[in-house]
Structure 1
Amino acid sequence: AKEEASLNAERLERIRWLLEDMKDLGPSKNEWASINEEHTRLSRATDILEACQSSRGLLTEEDSSVLSMIDTALDRLGEVIDTDQKLEKIYNALTDAREIIDSASDDIEHYLSRTDFDESRFAELDTRLSDYIRMASKYHLEPEQLYNEYLSAKKKAHEFEELGDLTALEQKVKEAKEIYDALAAELSKYRKKGAQSMERQITKAMQTLAMEGGKFEISVQNTEHPGPNGTDSVEFLVAGHAGVAPRPLIKVASGGELARISLAIAVTDSSTATVDTLIFDEVDTGIGGAVAETVGRLLKTLGSHQQVLCVTHLSQVAGCAENHFRIEKVQSDKDKAPSSRITLLTPEERVEEISRMMGGLKITEVTREHAKEMLHQG
């Protein structure tokens, strides 16, 4: 506002000039359409009167009116209606037509008695339309756009008047900052409290995910650039083993560790998560045995809240899933690149795949039974 004070003053002056120019016209909402319609009707007053009077005469007033002809037809049919029942339907249709025509004639009479073709009103509307057209031409607008342009100019004038009052603007900035600082401080307090709880839960989960002695920390520091999320800069820190200082997660975690820490975070946050689907890859890298089974069970727990997809080579992890898809490369033509094929497995195929993951190419009945037991427990 300070930098553009001179420019804003010029803009305000132009808008005020436009508003002053439109003041006498004072366009109102939908007025152009309304007066245009009324003006058109009054401009054809003679035609309307003649058409209504002529129509009423043709329908009911003249000796050879439609109504008199229908009455004649009814009289003639009435003389023979008792000779054939089919004539009754025609007679009734003519009776209905007579009522409709009689009613229409009454409506025309009512219209004529209630309609006032005032010449002075026509002149007034003519002047009003001319004013609209003159103003619209002056500002290169359509007449029906003048009302919205008038409103827009009023709004802009108010905005530029506010920009011109630097003292009031500075007060608004001060008040807004006070509100922001109070909200940011409250948010920061809850964020640090939440960070402590999250640290404990994720550190505990890490002990069961092949990261014994590891530690998860959350650094909450004041940022130099406050924004919509407050005045805090948040960073996740991790120590994969005991005796190691926590460092930024993105710099020190391997692919497998990152996947398992992400799993721990997801399980900790599952009750408040807003993500519908979670995908884990390499979550089983560098683990096996009981740890792999723990990972599988954590994934299953997470799957009760969200959809969880996991790519795995470990039977202990796969055995905890509710559904299995087999992903394989298919080379249909040696001259073409191979394609990937994904197949949803049947219960029998699930047993075979878990058995293959456990025992390799040679699958025995013992392996199958073990696979069945693993799926049942999972």
Structure 2
Amino acid sequence: MGLFESILSIILLIIISAIISSGEISLAGARKLKLQQMANDGDLRAKKVLELQEQPGQFITVVQIGLNMVAILGGMIGEGQITPYVYAFLSKYSQAEWLESVSSWLSFASVTMSFIVFADLMPKRMAMASPEKVAVKMVGIMTFCIFLFKPLVLLFDSLASGLFRVLRISTIRQESMTPEDIIAIVDAGAEAGVLKTQEHYLIENIFDMQQRTVTSTMTTREHIVFLDKSFTRQQTLETLQQNSHSKLLITDGSLDKIIGYVESHTLLTLYLQQDIVSLTDNRVLRKALYIPDTLSLYEVLELFKSSGEDFAVIINEYALVVGIVTLNDVMSIVMGELVSNEEEQIVRRDEDSWLIDGSTPLEDVMRALNIESFPNQENYETISGFMMYMLRKIPKKTDFVLFEQYKFEIIDTENFKIDQLMVSLRKDIKTEE
């Protein structure tokens, strides 16, 4: 074989190796969701890529067979065919004893560098840039190679699979996606400018619904406005005048004995039509939906959907009423500050301090202060609960808790309830920094 034929053979081997390398990287790195979308759009090649990804054993085997064969042939040609020409060229300028060794090393280095640059680095980097596009172009070639080397592929694949079974190592590709994975993708999309700030905010809040329990957004027991069935016309009208709620509970002596609820506008309409109206009249009284306080907001939303209701009474394990929740309360968690006209629960005073309402859900505090988790947070749901858990006593003004780089100090209480806290960055930690 002459020098021209040897170089041509090396170039051909580099091209083959480049095709195999780009096929390996692209098929392994192609995203399943993107391929599924392409397959749904009618691209049959994308469907073949998905099939190869589900059973990657034969694909990986044929890749290794191809790469090793090319590497061996490249070494044989480089050592056996190119070295004599390099030696003949160098012998014109020197007759040193080490000339033959240097010629061998030079031919080896030149062939190796050519394979590394043109058969590995360049094709792999191009394949990584657009793995799905490259994968669908290469899948036909790789499928043909699997068919061509079928006996060797089956032999080596069976040997490898047998060893994995003996070692009890799973080789099944896991494609499951967790909420954390999706949030990471959303964060990356926001940083890249693909998602708008509002879109990013909404998606994060939707996942919060699966983590938050209904008690984090309910109207608590002490703030529930209700009508007792014994109320006179005057008492009822005064209650409706003072509280502009669309729905009010009807009780029988106490809040833990709920008969149902009424729509304010329906009740007012009846009062306009007649002087005497019974709060237990079937024309106004509606059956209340009861839910346990352990449900997540997502589960509550599903219950509202299935029952056709948008109002529910929340009870605890002792069958005591702890609060009420409406569809609007649940959706406010999703929309949050985008539509809320209510007073903010977290107000930033300056660069180093915040005023936080005691009933603020932990998730909101964690987001505002960039805190990953609170200690044993499964035992409480609000920042007030965190303070009581850490203090191990009934809280009072000036009590404080030091946690991470923050100082949580109670600045206002009412009837043993924490109304407001001051959260500030700890000076000792700031000084150390």
Band of TM-score, shorter chain:
under 0.3
More helix by share: 1
- Max Rg structure: 1
